[in-house]
Structure 1
Amino acid sequence: MTVPATQAHNRQGSTLPRGAAPDPTGPLAVDATGLHKSFGTHSKTVHAVNGIDLQIRPGEVVAFLGPNGAGKTTTIDMLLGLSKPDAGSLAIFGMAPRAAIAHGLVSAVMQTGGLLKDLTVRETAALTASLFAQHQPVDEVLDRAGILDVAGRRVEKCSGGQQQRLRFAMALLSDPGLLILDEPTTGMDVEGRRDFWQAIRADTARGRTVIFATHYLEEADAYADRIVLVRRGKIVADGTAAEIKNLASGRTVLATADNADAAALAALPGVDSVQVQGERLAIRTKDSDAVARYLLNSTNAVDLEITSHNLEDAFVALTGDADAAAEITGTESKGK
């Protein structure tokens, strides 16, 4: 059965007050400096994490994005104390990861994992709660996860979205300071995703810290305070969604014209690419004004529109992986 990362050690008890959010003026939720992690032999070594520096304050919601093989899973494994860095330092709320886990300060909700299908939703949560020295009331966390109304339903009768919310409820039982989410809204409909993120936002208002991976780029755009882009074991961008978008230079000029010369457009200063689909044009350029002047003065272009690059454009530009833009959080192999 899938359980929060806290369960393995929480029987040791906690010296920290339960139910209290971490002090924003206290230690960083995550303080990683110069993290390195390699796999393989001397003749063939793969540097999965190659010098990551990451500081996250309590209460932040951080999207951790990157193409397959970027080092995301390896970094998360180190945050969860599942592996140790070869070099560098890592602290969770001022403690070693395993110590933070022992104090019930970290929980993880993974994309997949076994749930006991014959148990009801409430029985699953109650069984998980029994593994903690102290825990939040079962019905309270089911309500916060939006599944109290199906508490008596057997897990096998729950939808994929309801099962994912159950994993979220299980993670909340220890009232952790740090939640690590892998594809948290997989299987949820649009309304379910919105309700889920409203619950997450309510938690972060109390000081909860969230790190999440998602293949819904619009989700990262809408809900993350920060977006961290990783490529080949290194952080290539770290900032707000607006700041990340601005790192992808240029704009796209869209227009409809039946007499446009694609070669002439491509030859204009600052033009990166020209796409023609019938009469519809899409020109990526660093000088949108020059392209607009050409279209208006030299063609019969109508419906002209100039747009800034979106998060998908920035992702492709910064990670160099066009194929990963639609699916950016598949679990990478440690040998990649």
Structure 2
Amino acid sequence: MNDTRIAGLVKARKNYAAITALDGIDLDIHRGEILALLGPNGAGKSTSIALLLGLHRPDSGNATLFDRDPQDIEARRRIGVMLQSANLPATLKVGELLRLTASYYPEPRPIAECAELAGIADLLGRRYGALSGGQQRRVQFALAMAGRPDILFLDEPTVSMDIDARQSLWAAIRRLVSEGCAVVLTTHYLEEAEALADRVCVIAKGRVVSEGSVDALRAHVSLRRIRCITCVKIETLQAWPEVVSVETKQDRTIIATAQAETVVKRLLDADPSLSELEVQRAGLAEAFQEITRETEDVREAA
């Protein structure tokens, strides 16, 4: 993958007064992949992106975009950015905003294509300030890709969007990646990272504490979820030594266990009428919680 690296941080450190925001972080961004940055508030995600965008300088270490300084205009012309908030002229029409943004780039994406990808073709004649929060986010996404970027930075991109709009944006992101664009995604919606990311980087206290594919991070958690319809009482299941927890949702019983095969066998023996049996690995949310919890435990022990 080294030949596809197009940006990143190397041993980057950044302090704000007495606060260490980044503590020697290494981060690689590769062409044609979606990298999700996850971490609790204050972990260093925003600072990492700020260094990559050239908005701040590292106190030590390096930040590069296409082997250039992130403040180099040639590097900046190759990126697109959708931040968590945007102060755009409320009186301009959406089409005017897109044309203005496209004019800053040497080879912009056609306005109609931007609008189609972002799902805003019906909004081009409307004033930006008159749009709903979700519609404004879709416009911001269109603006971010107007310059045909090689790297797209998306900070909480689907905030305020309904389910349909979120799914449409996910499809647009996948299309851009298929064209070779790299995407750096920060999100509090862990199901979003799970659905999109090729690679996940978990940051805590300014350091990378875990990195890998979604499956690799999920494998970090040994627990499995067994979902089924059973007549075995909850009190009986809770007494089984292999069972960590039991809950019911609607007509389903959900059992958490690190020994799924053993529990399934016991269920089949105890309930011949057992039905709707599913065994699921831990989700990314559980893996994230486990990784950050372990990191806190190690730091407290130190």
Structure 2, gaps ≥5 residues long = 295-302
Structure 2 counterparts to residues 45-64 of structure 1, below 5 A: 46-64=19-37
Partner of 1:260: helix, strand, or coil? helix
Provide the residue aligned with 1:149 in structure 2.
Answer: 122
Higher relative contact order (CA 8 A, sep 6+): 1
Percent identity between matched residues is 36
- Contact map agreement 1:27 1:93 (CA 8 A) in 2: no
Partner of 2:85: helix, strand, or coil? coil
- In 1, the alpha carbon distance for the partners of 2:41 and 2:131 equals 30
Provide the residue aligned with 2:298 in structure 1.
Answer: none
Q: Which residue among 2, 9, 32 is the counterpart of 2:9?
A: 32
Structure 2 counterparts to residues 57-206 of structure 1, below 5 A: 57-99=30-72, 103-132=76-105, 135-206=108-179
- Residue type of the alignment partner of 1:290: T
- Contact map agreement 1:155 1:163 (CA 8 A) in 2: yes
- In 1, the alpha carbon distance for the partners of 2:79 and 2:5 equals 13
Q: 1:253 to 1:301 in 2, by over 3 A?
A: farther
Q: 1:95 to 1:166 in 2, by over 3 A?
A: same
Say how many residue pairs are matched.
290
Q: TM-score, normalised by structure 1?
A: 0.76
Q: Deviations over 1:202-250 (max 9, x none)?
A: 2222221111112222221222211222222222222222222111123
- In 1, the alpha carbon distance for the partners of 2:247 and 2:112 equals 56
- Contact map agreement 1:253 1:305 (CA 8 A) in 2: yes
- Residue type of the alignment partner of 1:275: V
- Contact map agreement 1:251 1:308 (CA 8 A) in 2: yes
Q: Which residue among 267, 275, 291 is the counterpart of 2:246?
A: 275
Q: Which residue among 289, 294, 298 is the counterpart of 1:316?
A: 289
Provide the residue aligned with 1:19 in structure 2.
Answer: none
- Residue type of the alignment partner of 1:292: V
- Contact map agreement 2:120 2:139 (CA 8 A) in 1: yes
Partner of 2:72: helix, strand, or coil? helix
Please identify, of 165-174 and 247-256, the stretch whose mean Cα deviation from structure 2 is larger.
247-256
- In 1, the alpha carbon distance for the partners of 2:71 and 2:102 equals 20
Instruction: State the 1:184 CA deviation.
Output: 1.2
Q: Which residue among 282, 285, 293 is the counterpart of 2:257?
A: 285
- Residue type of the alignment partner of 1:37: K
- In 1, the alpha carbon distance for the partners of 2:3 and 2:280 equals 42
Provide the residue aligned with 1:7 in structure 2.
Answer: none
Structure 2 counterparts to residues 317-336 of structure 1, below 5 A: 317-320=290-293
Q: Deviations over 1:156-210 (max 9, x none)?
A: 2323222112112222222221110011122223222222222222222222111
Partner of 2:5: helix, strand, or coil? coil
Is 2:194 the counterpart of 1:217?
Answer: no
Q: Deviations over 1:90-147 (max 9, x none)?
A: 2111112112665401221012222222111011222333445664443442333221
Instruction: State the 1:72 CA deviation.
Output: 0.8
Partner of 1:320: helix, strand, or coil? helix
Instruction: State the 1:58 CA deviation.
Output: 1.0
- Contact map agreement 2:227 2:253 (CA 8 A) in 1: yes
Q: 1:290 to 1:218 in 2, by over 3 A?
A: same
- Contact map agreement 1:64 1:228 (CA 8 A) in 2: yes
Q: Deviations over 1:240-283 (max 9, x none)?
A: 22222111123123454226346632xx25x5x32355997544
Structure 1, gaps ≥5 residues long = 1-23, 322-336
Q: 1:211 to 1:100 in 2, by over 3 A?
A: farther
Q: What root-mean-square deviation, in Å, do the aligned CA atoms of Structure 1 and Structure 2 show?
A: 2.9
- In 1, the alpha carbon distance for the partners of 2:89 and 2:28 equals 37
- Residue type of the alignment partner of 1:85: P
Provide the residue aligned with 1:243 in structure 2.
Answer: 216
